[in-house]
Structure 1
Amino acid sequence: MQEEIDSLHAYGTWDLVPHPLNMNIVGSKWVFRTKYCADGSIERYKARLVAQGFTQILGSDFHHTFSLVVKAATVRVVLTLAVQRGWHLQQLDVKNAFLNGVLDKPVYITQPPGFVDPRFPDHVRRLKKAIYGLRQAPLAWFRFSIFLLSMGFSQSRADSSLFHFHRGPSTIFLLLYVDDIIVTGNDQSLLQRFISQIHKEFAIKDLGRLNYFLGLEVSYTHDGLFIGQAKYAHDIIKRVELLDSKPVATPLSAGEVLVREGSPFRDPSLYRSLVGVLQYLTITRPDLSYAINLVSQFLQSPTDDHFQALKRIIWYVKGTIHFGLSFTRRTDSSVIGYSDADWARCIDTRRSTYGYSIFLGRNIVSWSAKKQPTVARSSCESEYRAMANTAVEIIWLSNLLHELQSSPSSRPQLLCDNKSAIFLSQNPVTHK
C-alpha cells in the first residue's frame, strides 16, 4: 500500500485541498490482488488504490469514455504472421498506466483509507492525473497512442488498439490491451531501440519473450507456438467444485434443445457468473462457442435444465483442459471462411443459429456462433444471412491484412453447404 501511495506522489497525481463547495466528491478504496505466474505459483501481492467511479456524474465529472482493448481476432492474426515469418514476440507491461493520463478537468476524491492526513482530515484530493476506477481514466491513457504516432507508427483503422510501423524493409507490430503490450517485428535491433525509447517516456516492465498474456499461456513448439488456457480452465472447475467429476466427450448432448420453461434455478447469479467466465475461455476454444452461446441465452431466468447443460460444458472442459490453438509456420497466406446455419433452431422464437470460422493459411483466426436477430422463412434465407455475416468478417480481416502489408496472394474464399444460398449470393437478380 505504501508503495502505491509513493507511486501516486511520484507521478504528481494529486494535491491536498479543502473540501470544495457544490462539487461531487468521488469515493476511493483499496483493492488487493494476488498475481500468479503461468504455472500457478504466486508472482506478487498487489495493492491498488481505485476511485469509486460509480459515484461519478455524467456531464459533471466526465463526458466521454474510451479504452484501448485489442480484439482477440487481431491478436490471433498478428501471432499467425509473426509465427509464419519467424519473428520474436516480446511482452511489455506499463506500470501504473493510468497515472500517465492527464485529466482535462479536476476530479475530487476522498483521501485514501489509512492514509488520511492528520493535520487536514476534512480535506480531499484533487486529481491532476487519472487513477484506476475513474470513468475517463482509459481515455486519459490514450496519450500513449499519441506517443506512438509521434514515433512514426500508424494506428490501424480496422482495430484502433493495433499500431504498425513500416520504414523500408523494417516492420513492427504493436498490440495494446489497456496496459499490456505485445510487440513484434522483423528487425530485432530496431525493436530494442524502440523499447528503450518507451522506457524513457513511460515506466514499463520488460517481461521478455511472450509466455503469459491476459490469462493466455503461450508455449513454443518446433513448428510454431501453442496458446491455451489450462490454468484459467482449472480455476473455473475448482470454483464449482467439480475437480473430481467424470469428464464427457462433447459439450452438449446429441440433439439437446433448451427451452425457457422449467423449474427455476436456485441461484441465478451463480449461473450468470459461470457463463461469463466461460465466455472468456472461447478466446482459444472455438469448440465451446456454440454451447456457451446456447446457455447464455437464458441468463435472465435460468432453470435447472439450463444449469445442468452448463455443468456438462464444465465436465467437457475438464476432459479437454489442455486444448487450445496451434499456430504453425506454414507460409500459406490464403483466407478461407466457412459458414453454416441451423434453421429455426430455437423452439421458443423459431430463430436460426449461425456460425462461421475463418482461417489464415492453416491457422484459425476468427470464429463465432450466434442466434440470428430475425426469423428466417427458409433454410436458404438463414444460410444466406450466415454467409453475409461471414463475408463482413472476411472483409474486415482483408482490410486488416492490407494495412499490415500482408495481403494474401489469392482472393478470399467463402464456403457454404447450401446450394440455394450460393445461387442467391451469385445472382444479383434474386437480391430483392
Structure 2
Amino acid sequence: MYNVQQENFKVLENGNIATAKGFHAGGLHCGIRKQKIDFGWFYSDVPAQAAGVYTTNVFQAAPLKVTQESIAKENKLQAVVVNSGIANACTGEQGLTDAYDMRKLFAETVGVEEHLAAVASTGLIGELLPMEKIQTGISQIHTAEHQGAEKFETAILTTDTHEKGIAIELEIDGEKVVIGGAAKGSGMIHPNMATMLGFVTTDANISSEQLSTTLKKITNQSFNMITVDGDTSTNDMVLVLANGKAGNQPLTNAHSDWETFYSGLKFVCEYLAKEIARDGEGASKLVEVNVDGSFSDESAQAIAKSIISSNLVKTALHGADANWGRIITAIGYSGQSLNPDKVSIYLGDILVVENGIPHRFDEEEAKNYLLKDEVKILAKLGDGNGKATAWGCDLSYEYVRINASYRT
C-alpha cells in the first residue's frame, strides 16, 4: 500500500487493522450473500479500552444498541464481529434478540466475556439475520484459511469497489506504537455518520475517557466531513480499541508525545474517511472542499458541507463543467454569515471568482483540471480565521443505476 514517512509517524506498507500488537482479524463467506465474503471479525489478546461514535439517525439498528450496551458496562471491548448483506435494522424485538445471540455466540467462540464483544451489521434494511448462517460462520472463526486482515476488510463491504485499510507506526516514550484501521462505505454517506463502518485498533496505552473525547473531536474533522449522496443511515459507527500492549506511559493531553498520537489517529481517520468518499457509488473522482476565512471553524464546516453536499455541484464536477455559480449558491444557502463581496473561489489553482464577481479564466484549462480523479475546491471568505475541509465525490449516471436496483 504505502510506505510514507510523515513528520511524526510512518505509514506502514501493507499495514492493517491487525498490525498493532495483540490484534487478530479474519473473514469468511457464511452464505448471507451469494458469493462474496460476508462475515468478519477482529479481536485483541486482552481487553482494550474502547470508544465509539454512532449514526444520528433515530432508527438505530439493533447491533448499535447492543454495541453501545457492551461499551457502557466498563468502557472496554475485546472483540468485534461484523456481517454484511443484511443490516438488521427495523427488525423489532426479534432483530434485537438476534443481535444479542450473535454477540453471545461470538464471545463464547472467541473466548471473551460477553460484554466485551461488539456486533455490527450492514446491508439491506428490514430483513432478519439468517441466524443459522451466522452460527455457521462463527463456528469457523478459528479455521486457518479464514485468518487475515484482508479477509476482514473484504467481509464488511457492500457496494464498495475496494477494501479500505491502513496502519501507521509512531514512537511514544521510546516505544513503537501502531494505529491501524479498516472501513467500509460507498453509498448513503453523509456528514454525521451514515452507511459506513470504521474500526481503529492501537496498542497504545490510553484511557477510555481520553480515547472517547479524542475520537469525538477527530470524527468531527474526518468521518463527519464526508458525503456521497446526503442520506444518513441506520447502522453506522466508528469504534476504537486500545489494548495498551505497546507499553507506553498512559496518554493524556499533558503527555509530551500527545500531539504525536493525536496527529497519528487523526491521519488514520482522515485516510479512511477520504477512501470512503473516493469510493462513492458510481464516483469517478474524489472531491476536496476547503473553506478558509470564515468567522469560525464551525461556520467553515457548515459551508464546506453545503458545497460538498450539493447535487448540482457534484453533477457539474462529473461533467467537468466549471460552473462556479453552483458553488456560490451552495455557500449562500449554508445558513452562515458572510460577506458576499469578499468571497473568492478556486478550482485547484484556477481563480474563477474574485471578491464576489467573475474572474476571467481559461475554460479549457478548467475542464482539463476537473477531468482529473482528484479535484480541489477552495472558498476564501475573508471574514475571519475559521477553516475546514470536507470530502466527497461527483454524482454520476452509475450512481442512479446502482441504487435503482439495490434490492434486486
TM-score (norm 2): 0.23
- Identify the structure with bigger relative contact order (alpha carbons < 8 Å, sequence gap 6+): 2
TM-score (norm 1): 0.22
Larger radius of gyration: 1
